[in-house]
Amino acid sequence: MNAGGIMIDIPQVITIASTDASGGAGINADLKTFHNQGVYAATIVVGLTAQNTYGVQDQYPIPAKFILEEFKSIADDLDIKAAKTGALLDEVRVHAVAQGWQSHNLGKLIIDPVMVAKGGSHLLSDTAIDTLKTELIPLAFLITPNLPEAEILVGRSLKTDQDIIHAAMTIQNMGVKNVLIKGGHRADLKNEFADYILYADGSSEWLTMPGIKTKRTHGTGDTLSSFITANLAKGYDLKDIMPVAKKFTYEAIRQTINVGHGHGPLNHWVAITMGTEDNK
Ligand SMILES: Nc1ncnc2c1ncn2[C@@H]1O[C@H](COP(=O)(O)OP(=O)(O)O)[C@@H](O)[C@H]1O
Ligand SMILES: Cc1ncc(COP(=O)(O)OP(=O)(O)O)c(N)n1
């Protein structure tokens, strides 16, 4: 009821992750990307980080019981179409998120398996990897590891295109429908950045953009996975979203903003939207 006004239906999404005090990564980057893409965003906060563009100074996990309360509050009221996870910190938090997910229907699950931040700090403990693999990954629509994260998931080093293609198959066999392996950390590619995606139907593609020579890449993975999450919630097909998500992230790095003195954050004001003339 909104007498005299108008009621607008807007796709609703959620990020299940940790905050970044400096605003460039984690929940902060997710919310900016969601807002940019015109979806309504809720949060399940799993942890807090004292962090800046130099690195992570401290982290504070939210108790599992409270995380489950957050799940219930959202599920009792909102109509979430897609959710993404980010830094989940440890085994207790990964288990709580898997438990919360199984108890409530929050649409498509996108896992960004954040393990190590740019400055080298661990945002997922080693003991949580098995829990991630056995409890959370089988629930997901899409997982988006960067190269080092994919190496940890499959337990071998990934150097060549063939290594990456086989790793995506290994990860898909863990029970997740679609697998995106991001190439931002690939040592042999300097002039172009190629990501590989293996889709649920067995088809696959390499997504390539020129490499930008910059250290201002704080929150690139969060931005890419949030763009995908927002547009899945809007009803777009993953195959149509992927090239535009790649372009959005590229432009958010290229059109840099002067914030921070280390690995600076991205520009979350770039105007790239699905369905517009250049981005069918
Ligand atoms: N310097 C860069 N120039 C162009 N694209 C980049 C650059 N760094 C990262 N990307 C792209 O940003 C996205 C996130 O990649 P990556 O850095 O591997 O993830 P993460 O932030 O999770 O470590 C990928 O699409 C990757 O190709
Ligand atoms: C709280 C928090 N969550 C996630 C990250 C990592 O974000 P990512 O997009 O992978 O970017 P970088 O670590 O490469 O900056 C984070 N740093 N903090």
Ligand 2: list residues with CB < 6 Å.
Answer: 17-18, 20, 25-26, 49, 51, 86-87, 114, 117-118, 123, 218-222, 263
Residue 72 host element (H or E):
helix 64-75
pLDDT of residue 140: 98
CA atoms of 222 and 36, how far apart (whole Å): 14
To test the pocket of ligand 2, the residue of 218, 225, 253, 266 to mutate (highest count of ligand atoms within 8 Å of its CB) is 218
CA atoms of 145 and 239, how far apart (whole Å): 18
Structure tokens at 136: 């959370």
pLDDT of residue 184: 85
pLDDT of residue 280: 61
Is-contact 85 110, C-beta < 8 A? yes
* φ, ψ for residue 279, nearest 5 deg: -125, 65
Structure tokens at 154: 């499959």
To test the pocket of ligand 2, the residue of 123, 124, 223 to mutate (highest count of ligand atoms within 8 Å of its CB) is 123
Listed in sequence order, the residues at least 6 apart from 19 whose beta carbon sits closer than 8 Å to its beta carbon are: 26, 27, 28, 45, 47, 48, 49
pLDDT of residue 64: 98
pTM over 0.95: yes
pLDDT tens digits, 107-132? 999 999 999 888 788 999 999 999 99
Which amino acid appears at position 114 of this protein?
V
Ligand 1 center to residue 69 CA distance, Å? 34
- What domains appear along the chain, each with residue ranges and CATH number? 12-254 (3.40.1190.20)
Structure tokens at 206: 């390499």
- pLDDT greater than 90 at residue 279: no
| Among the bound ligands, the one closest to the CA of 226 | 2
Phi and psi based region of residue 89 (left: phi greater than 0; alpha: psi -120 to 50; beta: remaining): left
Ligand 2 center to residue 272 CA distance, Å? 22
ipTM of model:
0.97
Q: Which ligand 2 atom is nearest residue 220's CA? A: 9
Q: Which ligand 2 atom is nearest residue 117's CA? A: 13
Ligand 2 center to residue 20 CA distance, Å? 8
